Amino acid sequence: MPEDVLPLPPGAVLQERYRIERFLENDGVILAYRGRDLYREEDVTVAEFAPFTLARREGASLTLAREDPESGLLYTRGLARFMLAALAAARVERQPAVIGVRHFFQANNTGYYVADYAERCSLRAYLEQKGGRIPPEELFPLAEPAFGALAAFHRAGRYGAEFSPRKIMVENGGLRLPAFHWGGEEFKDTWDQGSHQLSPFLPLERIPPGKKRGPWTDVYSLAAMLSYCLTGAEPPDVFARLGKAAPDFPDWPGAALTPGQKAALRKALELKAVDRFQSPEEMREALYSAPAAKERKSRFGPFRLPWRRERTGPRPHEKGGASL
């Protein structure tokens, strides 16, 4: 990590409320810390906007590494997007499968958000503990809470969840998905097919300039994540799949899937949005081979997609698909 963006030291207090306990990680744009909410006496995760390509640390504050108008404009725009993403995340309803955002604020010439604390067992670490693969009989119960988390995101009008094995957590026998979705792409490599390694969990509509996003967007990403867990290998990105004759997806070698489960995963991984399941609820019904009620109560909270009844959700051929 560059010295000029060293993390805040343990013991630093933000807003006279959040004490930094220890540094967790730096993804090049955001510094994450384990913190303590001194009012509620609870552990929290504190995230700080700190793009290492532009900023440096002077005391507790961040300053621009280069005093030029272009850098200042990029930093200002990035900070604004960070704060808007935190605001959108805070609007997502609280439930056990969602790593929710509790508070966000600006200080030290940058921005912060405070999220629920999740034990640092990422899906990637969990896969390593399991030898690189998770059998279907264990994976599908583990993944079921993710459908409820996606339903909460979609009720808040958010499409395009963060599907990264490093950021999804495994806790209490289920997956937890972060409500905060923004990767700070403008501070990383350009979205150029020849110079940027595409995420294997992104459908075509997530790649700029992109198309309308909707529930079908998260259907693809969740199915790609399940495929990764079943095989231990990242699925091919969408550009590698373009132009190939169907079916172009591997047959999940070594995974004891039923024909129905394979058919469900293939449909969820269709390149064209109109060919996929149009909601996580439809995907769940096919994948778990059991009808899902429009309101399903479980220990993970209600599972429902109200737009199925109220006809308020977009379809890929309709106007109104939302972006993050």
**What is the domain-level CATH number for residue 215?**
1.10.510.10
Banded model confidence at residue 319, pLDDT cuts 50, 70, 90: very low
Write down which residue in 86, 116, 146 finishes a domain. Answer: 116
Q: Are residues 128 and 56 in the same domain?
A: no
203 prior amide bond cis, ω within 30: no
Span 281-287, average pLDDT: 94
Q: Are residues 111 and 219 in the same domain?
A: no
In a domain, 133, yes or no: yes
Contact assessment for residue 43 and residue 66, using Cβ atoms and an 8 Å cutoff: no
In a domain, 185, yes or no: yes
Per-residue pLDDT tens over the stretch 238-257: 888 887 765 566 688 888 89
Q: How far apart are CA 24 and CA 33, in angstroms?
A: 5
Contact assessment for residue 324 and residue 159, using Cβ atoms and an 8 Å cutoff: yes
Look at residue 76 in the predicted model and tell me its pLDDT.
Answer: 93
Look at residue 294 in the predicted model and tell me its pLDDT.
Answer: 40
pTM of the model: 0.79
DSSP assignment of 71-111 equals HHHHHHHHHHHHHHHHHHHHTSPP-TTEE-EEEEEEETTEE
Look at residue 297 in the predicted model and tell me its pLDDT.
Answer: 43
Q: Are residues 36 and 109 in the same domain?
A: yes
Q: Are residues 41 and 103 in the same domain?
A: yes
Q: How far apart are CA 57 and CA 281, in angstroms?
A: 46
Write down which residue in 95, 116, 137 finishes a domain. Answer: 116
Q: Of 21-35, 189-203, 212-226, where does mean pLDDT reach its minimum?
A: 189-203
Look at residue 71 in the predicted model and tell me its pLDDT.
Answer: 87
Percentage of the chain surpassing pLDDT 90?
56
Q: How far apart are CA 23 and CA 33, in angstroms?
A: 4
Q: Are residues 273 and 153 in the same domain?
A: yes
**Mean pLDDT for the chain overall:** 83
Q: Does residue 79 carry a pLDDT above 80? A: yes
Look at residue 197 in the predicted model and tell me its pLDDT.
Answer: 62
Write down which residue in 65, 88, 116 finishes a domain. Answer: 116
Domain that holds residue 266: 123-310
Q: How far apart are CA 250 and CA 268, in angstroms?
A: 14
Look at residue 152 in the predicted model and tell me its pLDDT.
Answer: 93
Banded model confidence at residue 289, pLDDT cuts 50, 70, 90: confident
Two structure tokens written together for 47: 């995230």
Q: Does residue 295 carry a pLDDT above 50? A: no
Banded model confidence at residue 322, pLDDT cuts 50, 70, 90: very low
Banded model confidence at residue 43, pLDDT cuts 50, 70, 90: very high
Look at residue 245 in the predicted model and tell me its pLDDT.
Answer: 62
Span 196-208, average pLDDT: 79
In a domain, 293, yes or no: yes
In a domain, 108, yes or no: yes
Q: What is the largest CA-CA distance in the chain?
A: 60
What residues contact residue 97 under an 8 Å CB cut-off, 6+ apart? 145, 146, 148, 149, 152, 174, 175, 176, 177, 300, 301
Q: Are residues 109 and 175 in the same domain?
A: no
Number of domains present in the structure of the chain: 2
φ and ψ of 205, to 5 deg = -70, -10
Question: What dihedral do alpha carbons 107, 113, 117, 120 form, nearest 10°?
Answer: -90
In a domain, 321, yes or no: no
Look at residue 296 in the predicted model and tell me its pLDDT.
Answer: 42
Look at residue 293 in the predicted model and tell me its pLDDT.
Answer: 39
In a domain, 318, yes or no: no
DSSP H or E run through 3: none
Out of 160-164, 190-194, 195-199, the most confident range is: 160-164
Q: Are residues 185 and 130 in the same domain?
A: yes
What residues contact residue 151 under an 8 Å CB cut-off, 6+ apart? 280, 281, 303, 304, 305
Q: What angle do CA 87, 105, 101 make, to 5 degrees?
A: 45
CATH of the domain at 36: 3.30.200.20
Q: Are residues 127 and 109 in the same domain?
A: no
Q: Does residue 304 carry a pLDDT above 70? A: no
SS3 209: coil
Look at residue 310 in the predicted model and tell me its pLDDT.
Answer: 42
Q: Are residues 57 and 196 in the same domain?
A: no
Two structure tokens written together for 55: 């900023």
Banded model confidence at residue 185, pLDDT cuts 50, 70, 90: low
In a domain, 316, yes or no: no
Q: Are residues 101 and 201 in the same domain?
A: no
Per-residue pLDDT tens over the stretch 144-161: 999 999 999 999 998 888
Q: Are residues 81 and 209 in the same domain?
A: no
Q: Are residues 83 and 152 in the same domain?
A: no
In a domain, 282, yes or no: yes
